[in-house]
Amino acid sequence: MLEEISSSTSAVMSGTGQEVARQLYRTPEQKTIAVTFSDDEKGRAAEQVVRQLMEFLPQLIRERQQETLNKLIDAFLVSVTPRKLLANRLVRAATPQKRH
Does any domain span residue 83?
Answer: yes
- Phi, psi angles (nearest 5°) of residue 5: -75, 130
Does any domain span residue 99?
Answer: no
For residue 90, what pLDDT is reported?
Answer: 62
For residue 26, what pLDDT is reported?
Answer: 81
Does any domain span residue 27?
Answer: no
For residue 67, what pLDDT is reported?
Answer: 92
Does any domain span residue 16?
Answer: no
For residue 32, what pLDDT is reported?
Answer: 80
Q: How many domains does the chain have?
A: 1
For residue 36, what pLDDT is reported?
Answer: 85
pLDDT along the chain (100 residues), means of 10: 45 84 78 83 88 86 90 78 60 58
Q: What's the CA dihedral at 73, 77, 80, 86 to 10 degrees?
A: -170
Does any domain span residue 87?
Answer: yes
Does any domain span residue 19?
Answer: no
Boundaries of domain holding 87:
35-94
Query: For the purposes of burial, counting CB atoms within 10 Å of the CB of 19, is it exposed (0-12), middle (13-18) or buried (19 or more)?
Result: middle
